[in-house]
Amino acid sequence: MSSFYCYYLCVFFLGCLFPGDILLEINGLRVHTLEQVFSQIQQTSSLIDCKLLVQAPKEGILRSSIQCFNSNSKTKRYVRCLFDYDATKDSLLPTGDVGLSFKSGDVLELVNDQDPNWWQVCL
């Protein structure tokens, strides 16, 4: 099977993945082939827990990934950092300890996105 077909299956069943992402585990079991991925997905009747090695997406893909989020969803949502940020050097924060520093490629859990200009996340 082609890598495009594998990418299509992962996006269809698992949500927003990007070219270059590597699927390591499904529901705690390591997967190495497309057949193993498909088998694990077929055997699961509830939520699928995936462990990924993520790559920073190219510009333009970020917009489409944000559209995949549903703010009313009760499932955990994650965002991938596309740049480095040092909260201690941010002059708009009252003190550096109220912000969260992160590096490009870090994956953060989205906790609150009700304000379109400010998201609450945890590392």
- 87-102 confidence digits (pLDDT tens): 888 877 767 677 888 8
Q: Name the H helices within 1-123.
A: 3-14, 34-43, 61-67
Pick from 109, 7, 105: nearest CA to 56: 105
The model's pTM: 0.42
Give, as one character, the DSSP assignment of residue 48.
P
For range 31-53, the mean pLDDT: 80
| Closest alpha carbon to 107 in 29, 62, 25, 52 | 52
Provide the pLDDT for residue 30.
92
Domains for the chain: give ranges and CATH numbers: 1-55 (no CATH), 57-123 (2.30.30.40)
What pLDDT is attached to residue 92? 76
- d(C-alpha 110, C-alpha 120), whole Å: 6
For residue range 53-77, what is the model confidence (pLDDT) as tens digits?
776 655 554 544 555 544 455 678 8
DSSP state of 63: H
Rounded to the nearest integer, the mean pLDDT of the chain is 71
